Chain A
Amino acid sequence: MIKKEFFLKGYKSILKPDSPAIALACCFVAIGALLKNVGFNIQESVLSTLLIYALPGSLVMAESILIGASLISIFFAVWFVNARLYPMAVSLFPLMMDDSQPKWKYYLSCHFIAVSAWLIMKSNYETIEKKDRVDFWIGIGSATLSVSVLATILGFYIADYLNKDMLMGLAILNPIYFTCMMVGAMKTLQITLSVTLGAIMGPIFYFFSPEWSIILGGVVGGSIAYLFGEKNVN
């Protein structure tokens, strides 16, 4: 089963002074308020954060419900916008794959993949032995998901008291936090180039295709960074 020691170690990472708890909570306060305005009740809002736990996906869902989109179109729109979770999983899970651990842990805990948990794991995994990393990861994921659910509840109930400036503040906080985290992660040539090129190319591709811009920006920018980095390291 899950080793308590490593689970708790992961869980407590949310309490560190530079943890993403505040940024994460603010985003989900905004989501809670948005869902209430879309017409969700409290149970539906909590359920959506619990089951989806990916901000852009929730935003797409809310917009789709507002315009009365079909379930099929919601499925493809969300799959598209959350396709970034695939490379995030592939660049994280090999770090914790160990034969001594049962596979179900990996299949269930992949639900926790989201920017905040991913970045915490990326900057801390080396401190944990490989066989215990998945338990540590489950701890981090449980902590970030708990914060998100609590923040959704808070957002739902304070929705009526939030004015335009407050909503704007909640909305900018998250990209600023992640910008700082990405800049902080720029420690190798490959990652520095990946972040820089992705940030430049994502918006450029937006002019050609808003739906494809993130995937295209990521694949083109990331591949150039990879090739350039490999060439220079060797």
Chain B
Amino acid sequence: MSISVLLSIIVTSLATYLSRFLGVLSSLRIKESSKIFRWFNCLAYATLAALIARTIIFPVGALTDASYLSRLIVILLSLGIFFITKKNFVYPTIFSAISIGIVNNFF
């Protein structure tokens, strides 16, 4: 194992654990019935939604090869399948993986 890669992994894991650990420390003093808990609940859902929207609209990595239009079409179709299948998570997910390459060839 090269030292620089190992150090990068350790530094990355410490930076990641820090937010988790600080979250637990704060949780020791927060009651689940409190207003601050409800506020953080909203922050968590909104942050995740922001992250997911950014991944789709401004992707990094392999998704940059797919056009905007093809990403939009796949997400709308997947959501359609999600509702048709009575909110099944697996069908739209598998559909998206298979269809993105095909849709991207046309748009």
Contact = CB atoms under 8 A, between A and B. Distances in A.
Interface of A: 17-18, 20, 22-23, 26, 30, 34, 39-41, 43-44, 47-48, 51-54, 56-61, 63-65, 71, 74-76, 78-79, 82-95, 97, 106-107, 110-111, 113, 115, 118, 164-185, 190-191, 193-203, 205-206, 210, 213-215, 217-219, 221-223, 225-226, 229-230
A193 to B, nearest CB: 8
* Chain B contact residues, majority secondary structure: helix
Contact of B46 (A78, A179, A218): A218
A1 B20 CA distance: 22
A20 B89 contact: yes
A-B pairs, top 6 by smallest CB distance, nearest first, are A89-B23, A202-B50, A218-B47, A198-B46, A165-B101, A198-B49
A226 B55 CA distance: 24
B78 A110 contact: no
Interface of B: 1-2, 4-24, 26-28, 30-32, 34-35, 37-63, 65-66, 71, 74-75, 78-79, 82, 87-90, 92-94, 96-98, 100-101, 104
Contacts of A165: 100-101, 104
A57 B19 CA distance: 12
* Chain A contact residues, majority secondary structure: helix
Contacts, number: 326
Contacts of B7: 71
